[in-house]
Amino acid sequence: MVVRRARRLLQVVDAHCGGEPARVVVGGLPVVPGSTMLEKRQYFREHLDHLRCLLCHEPRGYPCQNANFLVAPTSPEASFGVVIGEQAGVYPAMSGHNLMCVATVLVEAGMVSDSNFKLDTPAGIVAVHVEMDGGKARVVTLQNAPSFCRPSDMDIALEVPGVGLVRADVAFGGMWYCIVDVNDVGLGPLDRRRAREIARVGEAIKAAARRHHPVTHPEYAYDGPDILVFREPASRDADEIRALNTVVMSSTTDSAETWSAMLDRSPCGTGTCAVMAQLHARGELGLNERFVHESIVGTHFIGRLTEECVLGDGTKAVRPTISGSAWITQHATVVLDPTDPFPRGILPHVADIW
């Protein structure tokens, strides 16, 4: 009876990658117009944001939930297009942990016939390779779009209310990252038990960066910084470079002074790409060196820079790969009853966990 009364039915597969959840919508979406993935992303933002809210907000979601909408690709070489929706109305051009979850769902559900395929994203085509083991996606490797850290975006001095003077780099890895050494703000070593303080300080720094050092992508309309990574100094072993990090993601953005946030449970795919671009720009990470990026919950992504490249405006960039693992957690049908008082979730958020 509930299903017959439902106004909205979405078929979803939930997964997590490195501890960070992702909800993959595999059925029930309307046709999403657009000749490019950037246009489809913009259409979602303007006309279908209620679906992101429905899936990510309480009572169906929680602060760390993400939504992935499978749409028709705009490139003939891609198997699917993906529009990603996160909290606070963020629609990233690319997200590594989300696409690893999408790839795992596609191969384990038999929605692609090969373990090598391509996904169409607002950041461009992402090549995917999935190592299979007995029908299970064991490791997913993504070839991300070019990442970069420009000289003009390095060693930025930010005066942050309640924090003081903070030095930061800004880099693009699919989102615009403000990158800060956690020891410079007195929060090192990174410890999950200090998550609320880390999130609060991170949001304050991000707000200052957006006010005083706004950036935009040189090839398409994507502004930032829209996310922040705290990292500990990288250490070099015999055959790899390692770093511990946590990424601070906004959960509400009603005003810069009251932004709330959560910490990415995964090592963060685009954050890994941005940090590798930063390290390369600083001469600390070479091409084809193995980079191990650890999250605040102890999970890891493996990254490499495969080549240098140049964007259309002359910006020097690098092409990164990232590898990680994802696990399906449930198959579900999301229902919206016409009498439900929260069709977009509970808004404004209850400020205990948001």
pLDDT tens digits, residue range 108-141? Answer: 999 999 999 999 999 999 999 999 999 999 999 9
309 is annotated as an active-site residue = no
Was domain 151-323 assigned CATH 3.10.310.10?
yes
pLDDT tens digits, residue range 60-112? Answer: 999 999 999 999 999 999 999 999 999 999 999 999 999 999 999 999 999 99
Residue spans per domain, the chain: 2-143+327-336, 151-323
Q: How far apart are the C-alpha atoms of 338 and 106, rounded to whole Å?
A: 31
95 is annotated as an active-site residue = yes
Catalytic residue among 17, 56, 64, 95: 95
Q: What is the pLDDT of residue 147?
A: 98
CB atoms within 10 A of CB 165: 10
pLDDT tens digits, residue range 157-194? Answer: 999 999 999 999 999 999 999 999 999 999 999 999 99
Work out the average pLDDT over 41-52.
Answer: 98
CB atoms within 10 A of CB 118: 17
Q: What is the pLDDT of residue 46?
A: 98
Q: What is the pLDDT of residue 256?
A: 46
How sure is the predictor about 204, in pLDDT bands with cuts at 50, 70 and 90?
Answer: very high
pLDDT tens digits, residue range 251-307? Answer: 765 444 555 789 999 999 999 999 999 999 999 999 999 999 999 999 999 999 999
Q: What is the pLDDT of residue 254?
A: 47
How sure is the predictor about 240, in pLDDT bands with cuts at 50, 70 and 90?
Answer: very high
Catalytic residue among 268, 295, 323, 325: 268
Q: How far apart are the C-alpha atoms of 113 and 346, rounded to whole Å?
A: 39
Q: What is the pLDDT of residue 3?
A: 53
List C-alpha distances in Å: 245 to 24, 143, 265, 267, 271. 26, 21, 10, 7, 9
Fold match, 2-143+327-336 / 151-323: yes
Q: What is the pLDDT of residue 44?
A: 98
Q: What is the pLDDT of residue 4?
A: 60
Q: What is the pLDDT of residue 212?
A: 97
Output the average pLDDT for the chain.
Answer: 95
Pick 2-143+327-336's CATH classification: 3.10.310.10, 3.40.190.10, 3.10.310.30, 3.30.750.24: 3.10.310.10
The phi, psi pair for 79, rounded to 5°, reads -80, -40
CB of 98 closer than 8 Å to CB of 22: yes
